[in-house]
Amino acid sequence: MKKLGKIFLTIIVLLTALVLIFNEPIKVKLVQQVSQSRLEHLSKDQIRQNNLRDASFDFSKVKPITVKQAAKAAVKNNAAAIGKIAIPSVSLKLPIVKGVDDTALATGGGTLKPDEKMGEGNYALAGHYMTDKGALFSPIARVQIGDLIYITNLKNVYTYKVELKQVISPRATWTMNNQPRTKMITLITCADGGANRWLVQGKLVNARVANRETLAVFG
């Protein structure tokens, strides 16, 4: 009996180890598939409809992304995508989704305020940081001052130039506030294992009509 018990315990330990080893790659793969699908198939009509949907903007309820959460987003694939974001310098290309609920943040960058409009005020987005450098908002940790950030609603393409990058406290909600006569973008993701946040802010450089040429950066 003791021998059987040891064998059973060994099997449990091995299965647990396998789950831990493959958990992160599975999660990353699921997230990347969902993001890519929403990015490739987004249309103006979908954006119009998604802008009318209700969404949660309570960032305090956001939980660390799990395999279950990523799988749910992959199966339902119903995050309210309302645009796209690209940062070529760090190979970031993601859908922009309305709100910051779990499904939204397992898909792309979520809007932090219900009244945000591209090219106006302080367009604030938040996203999950994952250990894989190419997943969700992870590449933001490598953004440098002077890098260009592009966002689009498929009607116009807005270009911002990064002017600020720093680590902030999770309580620094002032970063989302509008600034007088300033058109800017704010990107936020986790830093220091979730204890703090990366903050990246840029000023609007230009706004151009969306066409094959200006949308190429999102492809």
- The pTM (predicted TM-score) of the whole model is 0.87
SS3 214: helix
Domain total in the chain: 1
Give burial (CB, 10 Å; 0-12/13-18/19+) of 170: middle
Closest CA to 62 of 114, 102, 110: 102
Q: What are the residue numbers of the active site? A: 128, 190
CATH number of the domain that residue 100 is part of:
2.40.260.10
Nearest-Å Rg of the Cα atoms of the chain is 19
What are the per-10-residue average pLDDT scores of the chain (219 residues)? 46 37 68 87 96 90 78 75 98 96 92 96 95 86 97 98 96 92 96 90 98 96
* Domain residue limits at 32: 2-218
